Amino acid sequence: MSNIPITSLPITNPLTGDETVPIVQAGTTKRTTTGAISALPFGQGSTFASGISFVTVGSSFGLLPSSRVLAAASPVTLTDSGTSAPITIGVAFISEVTVTTATYTILPTDGSVYVNRAGTATLTMPAAAAWLAAVGHVAPFQLLIQDVSGSASVNNITINRAGADTMNGLTSITITSDYGGYKLRSAASGLWVIQ
């Protein structure tokens, strides 16, 4: 039987783990079972170590029992830099912005918008869905728009919608009181709720 090529041997039934197979260990041919081989933790080269864990980002890890897959939801991002490299965790931060110009389009990453202008100002909201998705804003997180000049009663601040979005069903709202403002929350695609 030693002259029969492996490809000529009969095909096995599904393996049970009790099958005996030859291995070469330290230059000597020995026997073991398929079950003993499958119970070994995954390792590199011929070195096996118990308790090894493998982590991947956003992809299947196969059948490695100690492995995990990392997944992230906005505002957290994960970057897998490859074998033996770190997994980088990033977080999108919201920003505070002070508006001194006559017009400003609020960015999806803006969290607080302070208007400090000696004149009227017109702001355009970001799309509700884009604001929610950009940094993972969830209730009770709010977008703050406020007059910090103390002159909104004379220099009104108009806040217009983006696209077909509405703010409590309105297409625009206006700050008309000194140091006044609005807190808004994106409730869903196309919908801002005034708090």
pLDDT (tens digit, 9 = 90+) per residue, 34-51?
A: 888 877 655 444 444 445
Q: Count the Cβ atoms, other than its own, within 10 Å of residue 78.
A: 15
84 and 164 belong to one structural domain: no
Question: Which residues, 6 or more positions from 81, have their beta carbon under 8 angstroms from its beta carbon?
Answer: 87, 88
Is 4 a member of any domain?
no
| pLDDT, tens digit (0-9, with 9 covering 90-100), for 85-125 | 777 776 666 789 999 999 999 998 888 999 999 999 999 99
**Which pLDDT score is estimated for 48?**
45
43 and 60 belong to one structural domain: no
pTM score over 0.85: no
Is 167 a member of any domain?
yes
* Residue 42 structural domain: 12-47
Q: What is the mean pLDDT of residues 132-159?
A: 84
75 and 166 belong to one structural domain: no
19 and 59 belong to one structural domain: no
61 and 75 belong to one structural domain: yes
Q: How many domains is the chain partitioned into structurally?
A: 3
